[in-house]
Amino acid sequence: MVTAVISGLGVALPPSAVQAELWDGYFAHHYTGTRQALAKRIFTNSGVRTRQAVVSPLLEDVSSWSTERRMRRYQVEAIPLGKAAVGRALADAGLTADELGLFAVCSCTGYATPGLDILLARDMGMSPSVQRLFVGHMGCYAALPGLGTVSDFVVARGRPALLLCAELTSLHLQPAGTRTDIQQIVSHALFSDAAAACVVTPGGFGYGVSEVAAVTDATTADHMTWEVTDAGFRMGLSAQVPSVLSAHVRDLVDDVLAKRGLRIADIDGWAVHPGGPKILDVVQERLELDDAALAPSRGVLEAYGNCSSATVLLVLDALRRQEDPPRRIVMLAFGPGLTLYVTLLEGSTLGA
């Protein structure tokens, strides 16, 4: 049987900035009155030390821009960033762009037609017959259903596929004085920009995609929102999100591992989407993991911030670059719904 194997990864990042400098140089003036002290505490306790942006507020304030203007800038910035990530993933896998059978793109931070899937397929030299898929507005967990979809294609068609997650959250800085509530402050303190791509092939060396599963608690659909407004996209993020994750994450992980006759103790790598420090704390507590298990996820949050759908691939990249890479990895990501996704990877294997 053909095994879908992650055989290449590529990451591309825009310029980085220090969190403390972002606060002192911009956000300290963005919030006023009683909100300023609260915002400073949130920024300080975000778990983020540095993060990157295609449009840094220290250089260019987009908070007053219309959504149309933000979307035009999205295309300008996302194309070279996506091209770099795709090129690095293909080189890592030892493939050329014209060998791909499917090109899938996940992004919730920008839209246009022709989109990234069309323009990058053209610019990277993909075949005119390559199949394309664009997944929008799924949010932070989109990489895992995206990975499941390209893996299914690889198994069914026996051809390589590539998944790109490209997120430019910096384009959605909200105006001062509009919805400057706690949810928006948290969003401004956490989110960042990145592009990450992975090549999935029929067999070969890498991490085999063994299981993909999800659970959605639709009773909490209003706990996480991403609204399209006249001033960009606006995040809604309830403080109840960690408690909802706490109620579901252990059962979901146990059920997925049981299908392979595994337990949590059999997993030596954890790629957990670092939505924020409290989310990582909840996952660590419910899965009874030690500090070392969550160190890669916390390290990505500290160095890169929350890059929405690209973030869990950044953690996977950090894990595989370890001196002694893990043999089995559980990837976890969370987003609107509220939705929890889990993916089990097993490597390094030689498939069909």
> What is the per-residue pLDDT for 16?
97
The whole-number pLDDT of residue 348 equals 60
Surface-to-core class of residue 213, CB atoms within 10 Å of its CB (0-12 exposed, 13-18 middle, 19+ buried): middle
Give the per-residue pLDDT at 114: 95
- pLDDT at residue number 351: 38
What does the buried/exposed string (b/e) look like for 148-180 if buried means 16 or more CB atoms within 10 Å of the residue's CB? bbbbbbbbeeebbbbbbbbbbbbbbbbbeeebb
Structural contact between residues 292 and 285, judged by C-beta atoms closer than 8 angstroms? no
Whole-number Å distance between alpha carbons of 234 and 174: 7
Query: How is the chain split into domains, by residue range?
Result: 4-202, 207-347
Question: pTM of the entire structure?
Answer: 0.96
Mean pLDDT by 10 residues, the chain (352 residues): 94 98 95 88 97 97 97 97 98 98 98 95 98 96 98 98 98 78 91 98 96 96 94 92 95 98 98 97 98 98 98 98 96 96 82 37
Instruction: Give yes or no on whether 4-202 and 207-347 have one common fold.
Output: yes
Q: pLDDT value at position 350? A: 41
Task: For domain 4-202, say whether CATH 3.40.47.10 is its number.
Answer: yes
Quote the pLDDT of residue 352. 36
Write down the pLDDT at residue 28.
Answer: 94
- Exactly one of 140, 165, 198, 307 is catalytic; which is it? 140
| CATH class of residue range 207-347 | alpha beta
CA atoms within 13 A on the CB side of 167: 32
Q: What is residue 176's predicted lDDT score, i.e. its pLDDT?
A: 84
Q: Does 140 participate in catalysis according to the annotation? A: yes
